[in-house]
Amino acid sequence: MIEFVLREPTYRKRMVAEVDPKYWIAPALSSGRTFLEPLQGAGVKMRGVLKPWAPPRSYGLVIKLSAAGLPQYSFHSRLGGRNHGVVATAECDGFLFVLSKGSGRVLKMKVPSQGGI
* pLDDT one digit per residue (tens) for the chain, 117 residues: 777 888 899 999 999 999 988 778 776 666 666 666 665 544 555 666 666 665 666 678 899 999 999 998 888 887 667 788 888 999 999 999 999 888 889 999 998 876 544
Helix or strand or coil: residue 13?
Answer: helix
Backbone dihedral region for residue 4 (phi beyond 0: left; psi -120 to 50: alpha; all else: beta): alpha
Q: What is the pLDDT of residue 26?
A: 73
Note the pLDDT of residue 22: 78
Q: Flag whether the pTM goes above 0.75.
A: no
| CA-angle at 104, arms to 98 and 108, nearest 5° | 30
Amino acid 106: pLDDT: 94
Domain boundaries, given as residue ranges, for the chain: 2-50, 60-110
The Cα 70–Cα 79 span in angstroms is 25
Residue 34: the pLDDT is 64
Query: Residue 32: which of 74, 75, 83, 101 has the closest Cα?
Result: 83
